[in-house]
């Protein structure tokens, strides 16, 4: 019998699609004169004092691997930061792990806790990596529809209605990408209560924790009796404008961190050394820079949201991150049609909402981490476009 030729790629990988965001931005990159409200990253370079600390470390020849867990000083600074910010105690040697961004954190968390068929409940729409990481870890994403009427918040009752014998965790991310939604402490406490009652873990992606406007961020691990069962993921990419440095962290119980660490040490070894040095400086003296950037984002947010509503793209007020998520339903187009036509006819790039899940259909994501002049010009072009196609 001839040997059966195996499939080139695994069934697990074949189940997931490439990120809709990247596909769209390959198209943007091939065009000139485009105003991009697309990729979700700060338009600021990393604050100079942070870059300088990293440059100095290179000058000193600090270019080797670090401890697999991350530089001890960084873990100590992080432990202090979490104590100062949230009054949470994490042991730097056993409850913190420095990761290659929150991206690695989501991957490690899902692989560390899931067995085949385990279910993870999350919001639809949500950040693009959540459901793919769950699938790659052998689990099943269970989506909870959210909508503009309820400000894209997850309801505890909707979560509870989807719990089965296979449910292992709830994966949340507030402030949210793509909607900019922030959930109040009270509503998060209701989710925590469901998690406790059903003994579920909660993976909480808090990468936008510091980017909130006029509201307070609630760290999920601070909710009553949630510290032990929360895998808190955070990072430096957004608040400190450090996307390219690739540094994030996980804070969780000893048992979970030990499991995540096993995967991390074999697949990653350690997060980039230079980035870790920069992160130490960010934690030690980056607060003023963060505050300045947040103030600037807030100005842009107000212009963007007011402008979108004015041109006929209804948009709820996002209280966090740096995204607006207007409805484009009034044009009768799908999200992809809208984004593609807008790009070709008016050279404005926004991400089709369906890249973030079925419930993102009928919306586009507009990132306002770009200059006010570009936001104003983009709104002008979008206004012209909407007028032409409004039904
Ligand atoms: C909600 C969310 N989580 C995680 C990430 C990935 O961040 P990092 O650069 O830390 O890997 C992003 C990036 O856009 C994000 O929006």
Q: Is the CB of 320 under 6 A from ligand 1?
A: no
Rg (CA), the chain: 21
User: If you measure from the C-alpha of residue 134 to the centroid of ligand 1, how many angstroms do you get, rounded to a whole number?
Assistant: 16
Q: Is the CB of 248 under 6 A from ligand 1?
A: yes
Q: Is the CB of 230 under 6 A from ligand 1?
A: no
How far, in Å, CA of 67 to CA of 98, rounded?
10
Find the distance separating the first CA and the last CA of the chain, reported in whole Å: 63
Q: In angstroms, what CA-CA distances link 260 with 12, 111, 218, 236, 273? A: 20, 8, 24, 19, 19
User: If you measure from the C-alpha of residue 102 to the centroid of ligand 1, how many angstroms do you get, rounded to a whole number?
Assistant: 6
User: If you measure from the C-alpha of residue 17 to the centroid of ligand 1, how many angstroms do you get, rounded to a whole number?
Assistant: 18
Q: Is the CB of 178 under 6 A from ligand 1?
A: no
The minimum-distance atom of ligand 1 relative to the CA of 236 is 10
Nearest Cα residue to atom 8 of ligand 1: 101
Q: Is the CB of 102 under 6 A from ligand 1?
A: yes
Q: Is the CB of 173 under 6 A from ligand 1?
A: yes
Task: pLDDT tens for the chain, 391 residues: list them.
Answer: 778 877 899 988 998 887 766 667 777 888 889 999 988 889 999 999 999 999 999 999 999 999 999 999 999 999 999 999 999 999 999 999 999 999 999 999 999 999 999 999 999 999 999 999 999 999 999 999 999 999 999 999 999 999 999 999 999 999 999 999 999 999 999 999 999 999 999 999 999 999 999 999 999 999 999 999 999 999 999 999 999 999 999 999 999 999 999 999 999 999 999 999 999 999 999 999 999 999 999 999 999 999 999 999 999 999 999 999 999 999 999 999 999 999 999 999 999 999 999 999 999 999 999 999 999 999 999 999 999 998 7
Q: Is the CB of 204 under 6 A from ligand 1?
A: no
Best of 41, 99, 100, 103 to mutate for ligand 1, by most ligand atoms within 8 A of CB? Answer: 103
SS (H, E, C) 226-279: CCCCEEEEEECCCCCCCHHHCCEEEECCHHHHHHHHHHHHHHCCCCCHHHHHHH
Best of 25, 104, 127, 179 to mutate for ligand 1, by most ligand atoms within 8 A of CB? Answer: 127
Closest CA to 204 of 271, 274, 115, 123: 123
How far, in Å, CA of 138 to CA of 349, rounded?
34
Q: Residue 50: its pLDDT value, please?
A: 98
The minimum-distance atom of ligand 1 relative to the CA of 40 is 14
């Amino acid at each position: 019998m001839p040997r059966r030729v195996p499939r080139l790629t695994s069934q697990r990988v074949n189940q997931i699609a490439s990120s809709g965001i990247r596909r769209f931005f390959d198209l943007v990159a091939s065009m000139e004169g485009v105003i991009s409200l697309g990729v979700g990253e700060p338009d600021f370079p990393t604050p100079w004092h942070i870059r300088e600390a990293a440059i100095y470390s290179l000058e000193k020849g600090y270019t080797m691997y670090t401890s697999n867990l991350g530089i001890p000083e960084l873990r100590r600074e992080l432990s202090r930061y979490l104590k100062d910010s949230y009054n949470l105690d994490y042991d730097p040697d056993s409850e913190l792990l420095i990761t290659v961004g929150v991206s690695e954190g989501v991957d490690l968390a899902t692989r560390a806790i899931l067995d085949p068929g385990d279910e993870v409940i999350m919001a639809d729409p949500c950040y693009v990596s959540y459901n793919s990481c769950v699938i790659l870890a052998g689990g099943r994403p269970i989506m909870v529809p959210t909508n503009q009427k309820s400000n894209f918040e997850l309801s505890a009752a909707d979560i509870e209605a989807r719990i089965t014998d296979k449910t292992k965790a709830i994966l949340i991310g507030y402030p949210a990408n793509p909607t900019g939604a922030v959930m109040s402490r009270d509503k998060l406490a209701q989710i925590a209560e469901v998690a406790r009652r059903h003994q579920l873990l909660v993976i909480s992606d808090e990468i936008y924790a510091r980017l909130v406007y006029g509201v307070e961020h609630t760290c999920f691990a601070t909710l009553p009796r949630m510290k032990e069962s929360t895998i808190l993921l955070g990072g430096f990419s957004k608040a400190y404008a450090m996307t390219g440095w690739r540094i994030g962290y996980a804070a969780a119980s000893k048992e979970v961190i030990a499991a995540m660490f096993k995967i991390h040490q074999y697949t990653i070894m350690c997060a980039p050394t230079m980035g870790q040095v920069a992160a130490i400086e960010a934690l030690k003296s980056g607060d003023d820079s963060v505050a300045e950037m947040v103030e600037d984002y807030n100005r842009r947010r107000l212009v963007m949201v007011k402008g979108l509503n004015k041109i006929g793209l209804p948009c709820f007020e996002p209280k966090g991150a740096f995204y607006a998520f207007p409805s484009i339903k009034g044009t009768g187009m799908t999200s992809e049609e809208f984004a593609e036509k807008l790009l070709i006819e008016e050279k404005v790039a926004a991400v089709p909402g369906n890249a973030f899940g079925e419930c993102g259909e009928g919306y586009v994501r507009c990132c306002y981490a770009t200059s006010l002049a570009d936001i104003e010009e983009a709104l002008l072009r979008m206004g012209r476009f909407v007028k032409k196609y409004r039904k």
